Amino acid sequence: MLQHEFVSAAAIAASVLFILSLGGLSNQEKAKRAVWYGIVGMAIAVVFTALGPGVGGLGWLIPLMLIGGLAGAWLARKVEMTEMPQLVAALHSVVGLAAVFIGFNAEMERARVVATRVAGIDVEGFSAFAATLAHKTPLELTFLQIEVVLGVFIGAVTFTGSVVAFGKLAGKIGGKPHKLPGGHMLNAGAALLCVLLAVGYFNGAGAWTLVLLALLAFFIGWHLIMGIGGADMPVVVSMLNSYSGWAAAAIGFTLSNDLLIVTGALVGSSGAILSYIMCKAMNRNFVSVILGGFGTTQSEAAEIEGEQVSIDTGGVASALNDADSVIIVPGYGMAVAQAQNAVSELVRKLRGAGKNVRFGIHPVAGRLPGHMNVLLAEARVPYDIVMEMDEINDDFASTDVVIVIGSNDIVNPAAQEDPGSPIAGMPVLKVWEAKQVFVCKRGQGTGYSGIENPLFFKENTRMLYGDARGSIDALVPMID
């Protein structure tokens, strides 16, 4: 076994690598190196924790680590980018469930230590964790109980909430908000009962209080995320990421693992900040979203007059050949069709013809923060022509052609023009200000939020129906 000093040094090194990894992810060009920082940091963390003092059962631990590593490698190769949001949600659920199991295990060990003290029995032969607890004062054991309650509660909410988020993102659960009769009062009542059960647990009422607390927290997580609509799922994924971080931090306090505390705090705080940023980008109230829509009222969008006018690839190609400036706005439809490489080839030909081509990226395009940026980077689109919404929104009015690929809610003018729209006030890409707008879309259905888009009915908009990849592939040979 390694000495405690080596483990502490490894924890510091891993923590620094994790911080460098997070910092590097803010820049596309540095992101690949940042990911490697995270990989190396996690490898150091796992190895030095497994070989550290007080850790036994390597005969079981090493095979389990190998199985987990192989499962992760298999998932990384199998899962498509379109499935990444639901994969992230599924992984959050695993962290939450781990926090619940560790909390219950810690309580069983604590109960054994307390029982041995009362009976005057030596703790020899107990686990390393129990032996550590045997040296703690009654006050320190009380703090352990607080850590257990927090870990179990946050972990249980994260588990069921992440399972529901996975179901909604995967299309296995409807995207519309669903609440039981009583709505928010049920959540509030369950949370109050959790507080009362925690008080009873602290005062020696027994482990049954912890079990009931976990069951109520499972319900809160399920009901909370069921009450959040599909349009807010990108925020929910980020929020659950934050929850999983705080659950990990609570586990770290329980296990006296400094590295787990630091890592959990990094994930928890960064996830919370990202959720807040995304709420601002969608004009959503942060507290309202995390409480399942608390404080919001239902509104109805105005009726849309007119009809959607279609166009063929020849018409779009003609407009592109005549244009000097082009902006492409990708969305989840591009990810579903796996059209990023076709789009990259189209951009190459347009730029080769001397046209100014750029991308407009909304902060919540797709179903995961940075979803479009990753796809475009994968297709080797130059970083310098991929612009964020705030950088490019004022340029649409002077743009000849805008191509919208699989985007809907993030280009919906109702957000600014219709006070009664459910997305009223949400910052959107003002594509309708361009001279011509071509929308590449499978059919006439609504977006993920279920809201009709007036953009599709405007006079300067034409609809290019069909699979995005097939449509773009057909366009490429027509560009002069």
3-state helix, strand, coil in the chain (%, to 5): 65, 5, 30
Could you list the active site residues?
409
Give dist(CA 343, CA 420) in Å, integer.
35
Crossing angle of helices 258-281 and 4-24, rounded to 10°: 10
Q: Which of 39, 11, 10 is nearest to 24 (CA)?
A: 39
Are 216 and 195 in contact, with CB atoms under 8 Å apart? no
Closest by CA to 332, choosing from 441, 235, 192, is 441
Closest CA to 147 of 111, 114, 104: 104
Dihedral-angle region of residue 171 (phi above 0 means left; psi in -120 to 50 means alpha; beta otherwise): left
* Helix axis angle, 258-281 to 233-255, nearest 10°: 160
Q: Which amino acid is located at 108 in the chain?
A: M
CB-CB neighbours of 296 under 10 Å: 15
User: What values do phi and psi take at 27, rounded to 5?
Assistant: -130, 125
Structure tokens at 3: 């000495």
Q: Closest Cα to residue 367, out of 428, 421, 447, 296?
A: 447
Give dist(CA 234, CA 274) in Å, integer.
10
Q: What is the DSSP string of 409-442?
A: GGG-THHHH-TTSTTTT-----GGGSSEEEEEES
**Three-state DSSP class for 39?**
helix
425 in Cβ contact with 385 (< 8 Å): no
Is the separation of the CB atoms in 372 and 414 below 8 Å? no
Q: For residue 114, give both structure tokens.
A: 């307390």
- By CB neighbour count within 10 A (0-12 exposed, 13-18 middle, 19+ buried), where does 28 fall? middle
Name the DSSP class of 330: E
Chain centroid to CA 115 = 43
Burial of 306 from C-beta contacts in 10 A (0-12 / 13-18 / 19+): exposed
Provide the sign of the torsion angle of the four alpha carbons 257, 33, 95, 202, taken in this order: positive
Residue 23 and residue 266 in contact, taking contact as beta carbons nearer than 8 Å? no
